[in-house]
Amino acid sequence: MKKCIVLFLTACLSMGMTNTSIAQVANKRELKLNKAPEKAAEQKTTGKPSQQLDRIIAVVNDEIITQNELNERKRLVLNRLQKQGTPQPPDDVLSGQVLEHVISEKVQLQLARDTGLKVDDAQLDRTIQRIAQENKMNLSEFRAAVEKDGTGFNAFREEIRNEILLTRLREREVDNTVSVSEAEVDAELAAESGQQQESEYRIQHILVLVPDQATSQQIEAKRARAELAATALARGTDFGQVAATYSESADALSGGNLGWRTPSRLPSLFVEALPKMKPGQVSTILKSANGFHIFKLIEQRNQAAAPVVSQTHARHILLRSKDGVTDAELRQRLEALKTRIAGGANFADLARQQSEDGSASNGGDLGWITPGETVPEFEQAMNELKPGQVSNPIQSQFGWHLIQVLERRESELSGEKRKVAIRQALHARKADEAYQDWLRQIRDRAFVENRLEEKK
């Protein structure tokens, strides 16, 4: 279920936060240790005499990570690895990998909160409601399923709140800073022209990060780590297990799975190596600006050079948020309109009378919509509708919407829409690369005391 939740969040969150430099935040944060973390740990250990005493295993700036917190994260990772059929790494190795993941998450959440990012309870409730709907459950059923998995619902809520914060932080600090030039789009379009088919590749990867301004000793230590991974793979060790053991990428604990990627979504050094590889083969160690890479080609398939996509013909009624009118009032107005439509009122007539969008004069008609052309909340709700159905009121950054799907079709992307798709793919690739570099930078700026490493 967690994989589904993370994928859903990635698809449904919107963009657009004020930018604040990481350096300013790093300068603000107090790096000296004081007794507060120790006292916090002591408070966590108080309670019934039968409770096992907790202990601090890491300090991240002014926050602590406890053994119990690490154990819970390990439990979740082990469940995921088991469901994937990936062998478990040695326990001490897994502990180190999971702890590093938690440290990275703490650093990001601290940056998010220090720079004013917040997720209020109302938005959190809406997101959880959408997740429940995505899993084909009502809220009560979904809560029961979460608790059956061994996670308290309040803890689950905070986990989702953190996921939203992490997504917004990445959008603001990384995704919104990445640009794709017309020359890059034209070059990719030219490379595809004349091709009857374009290859897609399903890939797993291992990334060993090299710090900014690394010394020659640090680089050699990282190279040695990559070589250990390569040696383990040469012995026939499962790639997912080796990734969970050695990779320092954000997806290491998921076995390094990248899923299906077109060449435009892959680093150029991967693209250069792929023509010489067959499914099942593993690359040599590759060096990039971020570090050392190893990847495995799992499968390869071909798709039409002009991709076929599902387009939706939809219309909507938009009520914009404004001072003096609450969200509850806007929602109630749209619910009343939906009731009238169910009773036989004409959607287009109501859109002309009530909608506050530029499409109102056309009865709310938005024409044929290609994936990615609307904000995630709108697209998610629209995709769940069958032709003729009307959505419940949904909120986006523009206000509150009532959506009706009229029809769907499969269509080839061509012309400007093909260029948009290429731009999106190139942006995603560059953002992936920038994200790894950004994670490394903020991790290097943080004060981290890793007590698991000190015990080695």
Per-residue pLDDT of the chain (456 residues; tens, 9 = 90+): 443 443 333 334 333 333 333 333 333 333 223 333 444 444 444 444 434 568 999 999 999 999 999 998 998 899 888 888 889 899 999 999 999 999 999 999 999 999 999 888 888 888 888 788 778 888 899 999 999 887 889 989 999 999 999 999 999 999 989 999 999 988 888 877 656 567 889 999 999 999 888 899 999 999 999 999 999 999 999 999 999 999 999 889 889 999 999 888 899 899 999 999 999 999 999 999 889 999 999 999 886 555 677 899 999 999 998 888 888 899 999 999 999 999 999 999 999 999 999 999 999 999 999 887 888 889 989 998 999 999 999 888 888 999 999 999 987 766 777 788 888 889 988 998 899 889 989 998 999 999 887 665
Q: Which of 144, 173, 202 is the last residue of a domain?
A: 173
Residues 329 and 223 in one domain: no
* Containing structural domain, residue 253: 182-306+416-454
Tokens (6 digits) for 325: 């009118």
How many folded domains does the chain comprise?
3
CATH number, domain containing residue 116 = 1.10.4030.10
Tokens (6 digits) for 385: 């509708």
Of the candidates 174, 230, 61, the one whose C-alpha atom is nearest the C-alpha of residue 437 is 174
E strand or H helix that includes residue 352: helix 347-354
Residues 265 and 313 in one domain: no
Residues 100 and 194 in one domain: no
Which residue matches tokens 């797993």? 204
Given a contact cutoff of 8 angstroms between Cβ atoms, the answer to whether 381 and 404 are in contact is no
CATH number, domain containing residue 338 = 3.10.50.40
Residues 399 and 335 in one domain: yes
Q: If you write DSSP's letter for every residue of 205-246 in order, what string do you get?
A: EEEEE--TT--HHHHHHHHHHHHHHHHHHHTT--HHHHHHHH
Helix, strand and coil percent figures for the chain, each rounded to 5: 55, 20, 30
Residues 295 and 320 in one domain: no
Q: What is the pTM of this model?
A: 0.66
**Helix (H/G/I), strand (E/B), else coil: 279:** coil
Of the candidates 199, 177, 65, the one whose C-alpha atom is nearest the C-alpha of residue 427 is 177
Residues 165 and 65 in one domain: yes
Residues 299 and 437 in one domain: yes
Residues 53 and 162 in one domain: yes
Residues 154 and 204 in one domain: no
Q: Which of 154, 173, 192 is the last residue of a domain?
A: 173
Nearest-angstrom CA–CA distance, 318 and 177: 30
Given a contact cutoff of 8 angstroms between Cβ atoms, the answer to whether 302 and 199 are in contact is yes
Residues 150 and 71 in one domain: yes
Q: Which of 173, 190, 208 is the last residue of a domain?
A: 173
Beta-carbon contacts of residue 337 (< 8 Å; ≥ 6 apart) = 317, 345, 350, 354, 402
Residues 36 and 167 in one domain: yes
Residues 297 and 385 in one domain: no
